[in-house]
Amino acid sequence: MRHTNSVQAYEEALRYISGGVNSPVRALRSVGAQPLFIRKAKGDTLTDVDGNRFTDFCLSWGVFILGHAHPSVNKAIRKAVSNGASYGIPSLPETALARLVNQHFPSMEKVRFVSSGTEAVMSAVRLARGFTRRSIILKFDGCYHGHADHLLVSAGSGVAGLSRASSAGVPEAFAACTLSLPFNDAEAVARAFRERGEDIAAVVVEPVPANMGVVLPENDFLPFLRRITAQHGALLIFDEVITGFRLSIGGAQQLLGVRPDLTTLGKIVGGGFPAAAFGGRSDVMALLAPDGPVYQAGTLSGNPVAMSAGAKTLQILSQKGYYAGLEEKADRFFAELSEVASGKGVRLNRMGSMFTLFFTSHPVRSFADAKRADQQRFGSFFRYMLANNFYLSPSQLEANFLSSAHSERTLGRFISLLKHFS
Ligand code: KE4
């Protein structure tokens, strides 16, 4: 497989862009591969600048549940952009998407659009601190909530690979306002609330973490977080940037029946454009400027093209039977994949259409467990799959995703490749 043009493209990119990439994990360093430069994407297929085609299981980190370049979404984008790309003044598509978000996430009584998941979580945390007049945020090891200073503590995703618990450049004073505990450890949470309950503004959690690889919540953990936050006057923030519209049309909160005070959304909600959202209880959202004292703003927030891409995506996802169909395909695939995986000493964690193959035979129910997986062996699996035209999310501590564009034949080939991997 030729990568000459990607190699040249990376050399050129290195001259102008730090690390040659605009997001660290794309450098493929943790999997020991050369970064690819993609020319186009359609359905489940990526085509790189050398003409190599790959079946994509990363889907721009979970965005393209419908597959890349869906014809109806593209048509909506073309129509929207012909009316101008941005106004910096309210437009009807913003309210249209807000109405759809509210319809599918009833806990999001009011919403505010932003341009990235980082902005969404950062703003929700500021709002929680403003509402409760408290400072401490409780998060979980291995969960990643974007790169706002105070959330880069024991984070997952691209930060997980760094040697330090949090990024350089984050003053200790900022990190000191963040407590990070093991996911699924109700006793540790109870102890934190016993000791500092009156200072805790919010618990922020990926309801089904995907940034340490996919790790499933133990049966009562999320309802427990709901009870203990309510008991102590702290807010519960569900970071559904990945799980929102992924696990169901109403995200993890609909599937698992836990109603948070605030929710953040990203990825799917923007249909591939830089758009994300935060929202929740009206009494909390009422504190946001211009109504209240908590400031938050954004030049391209509610961008009409992004709103149109998101709205068309959600309209297709809300069609009757969409998730049932995806779930059936996923169930068939994962039933066979987990059998082959266990024969290889590999652990499959999945929920809905997102999954991680952990290269360990032990159960993975926390960040500590996930970090014990054999990252070297995952790296060689990544490179083996790439050589066979499959592009996985390039890290052991990330999730992979199915889309409605993945065929049974492709999924069958994935399984047979794992079978022959040594
Ligand atoms: P962005 O700022 O990257 O749009 O969103 C941050 C974020 C917030 N919350 C969750 C649960 C997330 O997964 C993310 C971003 N996800 C990573 C992939 N796991 C983005 C990929 C990257 O950093 O390049």
Q: In this predicted model, what pLDDT tens digit does every residue of 330-346 receive, in sequence order? A: 999 999 999 999 999 99
Residue 296 and residue 192: Cα distance in Å, rounded?
29
- pLDDT at position 176 is 83
Band the pLDDT of 158: cuts 50, 70, 90.
low
Cα–Cα distances (Å) from 62 to 59, 73, 332, 402, in that order, read 5, 16, 20, 8
How many other CB atoms are there within 10 angstroms of residue 11's CB atom?
Answer: 10
Q: Is 347 exposed, middle or buried (0-12, 13-18, 19+ CB in 10 A)?
A: buried
Instruction: Please report, rounded to a whole number, the percentage of residues in the chain having pLDDT higher than 70.
Output: 98
Amino acid at residue number 157: S
Q: Which of 18, 114, 118 to mutate to test the pocket of ligand 1 (most atoms within 8 A of CB)?
A: 118
Q: And the tokens for 65?
A: 């549940």
The answer to whether 41 and 269 are in contact (CB under 8 A) is no
Ligand 1 centre to CA of 61 (Å) is 8
Q: Which of 122, 145, 392 to mutate to test the pocket of ligand 1 (most atoms within 8 A of CB)?
A: 145
Within 86-181, residue ranges assigned H as helices are 92-104, 117-132, 157-160, 172-175
Q: Ligand 1, residue 23: give the atom nearest the CA.
A: 24
Q: And the tokens for 8?
A: 């040249």
- pLDDT at position 160 is 54
Q: pLDDT tens, 223-245?
A: 999 999 999 999 999 999 999 99
Nearest Cα residue to atom 20 of ligand 1: 61
CATH class of 72-317: alpha beta
Band the pLDDT of 200: cuts 50, 70, 90.
very high
- pLDDT at position 219 is 81
Ligand 1 centre to CA of 145 (Å) is 7
Residue 157 has pLDDT above 90, yes or no: no
Band the pLDDT of 162: cuts 50, 70, 90.
very low
The active-site residue out of 144, 323, 371, 391 is: 144
Residue 417 has pLDDT above 80, yes or no: yes
Any residues with CB less than 8 A from the CB of 258 and at least 6 apart, and which?
A: 207, 222, 223, 225, 226, 238, 252
Residue 147 has pLDDT above 60, yes or no: yes
Q: pLDDT tens, 61-74?
A: 999 999 999 999 99
**pTM score, two decimals?**
0.97
Q: pLDDT tens, 113-124?
A: 999 999 999 999
Q: Is 144 a catalytic residue?
A: yes
Band the pLDDT of 164: cuts 50, 70, 90.
very low
Residue 329's H or E segment, with its range, is: helix 322-343
Nearest Cα residue to atom 15 of ligand 1: 146
Query: Which residue is it, tokens 């564009």?
Result: 405
Q: pLDDT tens, 80-98?
A: 999 999 999 999 999 999 9
- pLDDT at position 163 is 33
- pLDDT at position 173 is 79
Q: pLDDT tens, 8-31?
A: 999 999 999 999 999 999 999 999
Ligand 1 centre to CA of 71 (Å) is 26
- For 170, the 3-state DSSP assignment is coil
Average pLDDT over residues 189-202: 95
Q: Which of 31, 61, 143, 269 to mutate to test the pocket of ligand 1 (most atoms within 8 A of CB)?
A: 61
Ligand 1 centre to CA of 284 (Å) is 24
Contacts 24+ apart (CB under 8 A), 95-99: 96/307, 96/311, 97/269, 97/307, 97/310, 97/311, 97/314
Ligand 1 centre to CA of 348 (Å) is 22
- pLDDT at position 19 is 97
Band the pLDDT of 159: cuts 50, 70, 90.
low
The active-site residue out of 139, 267, 312, 371 is: 267
- pLDDT at position 290 is 97
Ligand 1 centre to CA of 73 (Å) is 22
Q: Ligand 1, residue 24: give the atom nearest the CA.
A: 24
Average of per-residue pLDDT values in the chain: 95
- pLDDT at position 155 is 73
Q: Is 291 a catalytic residue?
A: no
Q: Ligand 1, residue 121: give the atom nearest the CA.
A: 8
Structural domain spans, the chain: 4-57+321-419, 72-317
Average pLDDT over residues 391-415: 98
Write out residues with Cβ below 6 Å of ligand 1. 23, 25, 61, 116-118, 121, 144-146, 157-158, 206, 211, 239, 241-242, 266, 276, 398
Q: Could you write out the DSSP letters of every residue in 217-231? A: PPTTHHHHHHHHHHH
Within 247-321, residue ranges assigned H as helices are 251-256, 282-285, 304-317
Q: Ligand 1, residue 206: give the atom nearest the CA.
A: 11
Band the pLDDT of 314: cuts 50, 70, 90.
very high
Q: Ligand 1, residue 143: give the atom nearest the CA.
A: 11
Q: Ligand 1, residue 158: give the atom nearest the CA.
A: 23
Q: Which of 266, 193, 194, 206 is nearest to 239 (CA)?
A: 206
Q: Is 48 a catalytic residue?
A: no
CATH architecture label of 4-57+321-419: Alpha-Beta Complex (3.90)
Ligand 1 centre to CA of 266 (Å) is 8
Band the pLDDT of 175: cuts 50, 70, 90.
confident
Residue 53's H or E segment, with its range, is: strand 53-56
- pLDDT at position 356 is 98
